[in-house]
């Protein structure tokens, strides 16, 4: 366990309710410094609500959090100059140019006149916006708007960067380029908390928490989560994929079946011995020709497994 000095964010029992809706339920969290920590979960899982509590925009209904050594929500005002926040929706001004947007953010953070122009020039170059500085922000492509938003979020060199699904509206290449920038920031000492519903992005994080309907159901590095899945994963290549999925799904021993192209990924609890033999027998009895083999779990398999486990626990309660 990292010592306190190595932790950027600590939360215990963090809860947020909106009337009868519990958006975040008893969240415990430890986010290490200078790392990329991910929140993985579908819409409505509590990712955005948690981020807004951690940056002081929402007051928790219960629990407590310490961010960069600052107690929340009591001292949220002193935290704001030390963090950067980038929302899912582009929140800068479409009617201003790229340069005018960055200058406006520099005014908000009261960056000194002596250093601001050099810092602005540095970021416009670093984020490939130098030749766009006179272009209206509203006419930029999705990837360009994303880079502009990130440049503005890091203009004041924050210790902590909070990103709420920042790549949801951009193409795959822009997403890859964006993550290159995030790793550069983390390597330079910035702590990054990023929410996503993309499995490939979650796998890039140093550590991540999986959220399901406001509850943290798993926490660790991608490798740790994949190792501790508690499921065997059988990959099936069948002549009739749809028929094979129908047959396998009907068996009570099977936790989940997912089709990926022409292949099936079958999850069975590790309590089921010889999982390949079980799947092969099901298909053989249905006269379905197939090749089956155990394979390594993916992060998507982990997500399916932990959310199924929670659902089964609720049904048994």
Tell me what pLDDT residue 311 has. 81
Q: Is 22 part of any domain?
A: no
Average confidence (pLDDT) over 2-9: 76
Average confidence (pLDDT) over 63-80: 92
Q: Which domain holds residue 91?
A: 34-46+80-222
Sign of CA dihedral 279, 284, 290, 293: positive
Task: With cut-offs at 50, 70 and 90, classify the pLDDT of residue 308.
Answer: confident
**Burial track 92-131 (b if 16+ CB lie within 10 A, e otherwise):** beeeebbbbbbbebbeeeebeeeebeebbeebbeebebee
- Kindly state the DSSP code that residue 57 receives in the 8-state scheme: S
**Long-range contacts (CB closer than 8 Å, 24 or more residues apart) made by 237-241:** 237/262, 237/263, 237/264, 237/290, 237/291, 237/292, 238/264, 238/283, 238/288, 238/289, 238/290, 238/291, 239/288, 239/289, 239/290, 240/288
pLDDT at 89 over 90: no
- SS3 at position 307: helix
**Mean pLDDT value across the chain:** 93
Look at 2-11, 134-143, 212-221, 288-297 and tell me which has the smallest mean pLDDT: 2-11
pTM above 0.75, yes or no: yes
Same domain, 242 and 182: no
Same domain, 237 and 214: no
Q: How far from 26 is each of 14, 62, 197, 217, 278, CA to CA, in Å?
A: 5, 8, 21, 11, 39
Nearest to 158 by CA among 85, 227, 96, 226: 85
Tell me, what CATH number does 277's domain have?
A: 3.30.70.100
pLDDT at 2 over 80: no
Q: Is 301 part of any domain?
A: no
The residue among 63 and 170 whose pLDDT is bigger is 63
**Which residues lie closer than 8 Å to 116 by C-beta, 6 or more apart?**
103, 106
Q: Which of 200, 222, 244 is where one domain is finished?
A: 222
Q: Is 61 part of any domain?
A: no
Give CA–CA dist 234/256, Å, rounded: 11
Give CA–CA dist 260/164, Å, rounded: 28
pLDDT at 169 over 90: no
Same domain, 199 and 264: no
Same domain, 97 and 237: no
Give CA–CA dist 258/267, Å, rounded: 9
Same domain, 234 and 286: yes
Q: How far from 90 is each of 78, 287, 302, CA to CA, in Å?
A: 25, 54, 31
pLDDT at 317 over 70: no
Average confidence (pLDDT) over 70-93: 90
pLDDT at 1 over 50: no
Nearest to 40 by CA among 220, 183, 179, 234: 220
Tell me what pLDDT residue 55 has. 92
119 with 111: CB under 8 angstroms? Answer: yes
Q: Is 141 part of any domain?
A: yes
Same domain, 210 and 175: yes
Q: Which helix or strand (DSSP H or E) is residue 193 part of?
A: strand 191-196
Nearest to 120 by CA among 134, 106, 132: 106
Task: With cut-offs at 50, 70 and 90, classify the pLDDT of residue 282.
Answer: very high
The residue among 146 and 3 whose pLDDT is bigger is 146
Same domain, 168 and 39: yes
Tell me what pLDDT residue 43 has. 87
pLDDT at 307 over 80: yes
Average confidence (pLDDT) over 150-162: 96
Nearest to 191 by CA among 81, 15, 67: 67
Q: Is 202 part of any domain?
A: yes
Tell me what pLDDT residue 75 has. 87
Average confidence (pLDDT) over 180-197: 95
Same domain, 244 and 209: no
């Amino acid at each position: 366990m990292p010592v306190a000095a190595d932790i950027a964010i600590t939360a215990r029992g963090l809860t947020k309710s909106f009337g009868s809706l519990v958006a975040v339920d008893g969240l415990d969290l430890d986010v290490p410094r200078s790392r990329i920590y991910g929140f993985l979960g579908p819409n409505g899982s509590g990712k955005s609500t948690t981020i807004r509590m951690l940056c002081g925009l929402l007051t928790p209904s219960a629990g407590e959090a310490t961010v960069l050594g600052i107690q929340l929500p009591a001292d949220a005002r002193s935290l704001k100059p030390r963090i950067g926040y980038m929302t899912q929706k582009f929140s800068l001004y479409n009617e201003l140019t790229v340069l005018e947007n960055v200058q406006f953010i520099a005014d908000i953070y009261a960056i000194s006149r002596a250093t601001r122009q050099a810092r602005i020039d540095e970021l416009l170059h670093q984020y490939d916006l130098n030749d766009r500085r006179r272009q209206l922000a509203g006419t930029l492509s999705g990837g360009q708007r994303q880079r502009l938003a990130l440049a503005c979020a890091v203009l004041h060199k924050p210790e902590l960067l909070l990103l709420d699904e920042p790549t949801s509206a951009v193409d795959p290449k822009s997403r890859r380029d964006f993550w290159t920038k995030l790793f550069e920031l983390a390597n330079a000492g910035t702590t990054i908390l990023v929410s996503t519903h993309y499995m490939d992005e979650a796998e890039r994080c140093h550590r991540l928490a999986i959220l399901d309907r406001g509850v943290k159901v798993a926490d660790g590095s991608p490798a740790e989560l994949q190792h501790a899945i508690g499921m065997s994963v059988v990959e099936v290549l069948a002549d009739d994929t749809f028929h094979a999925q129908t047959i396998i799904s009907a068996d009570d021993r099977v936790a989940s079946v997912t089709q990926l192209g022409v292949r099936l990924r079958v999850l069975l609890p590790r309590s089921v011995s010889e999982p390949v033999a079980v799947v092969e027998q099901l298909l053989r009895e249905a006269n379905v020709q197939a090749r089956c083999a155990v394979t390594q779990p993916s992060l998507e398999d982990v997500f399916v497994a932990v959310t199924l486990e929670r659902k089964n626990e609720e049904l048994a309660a």
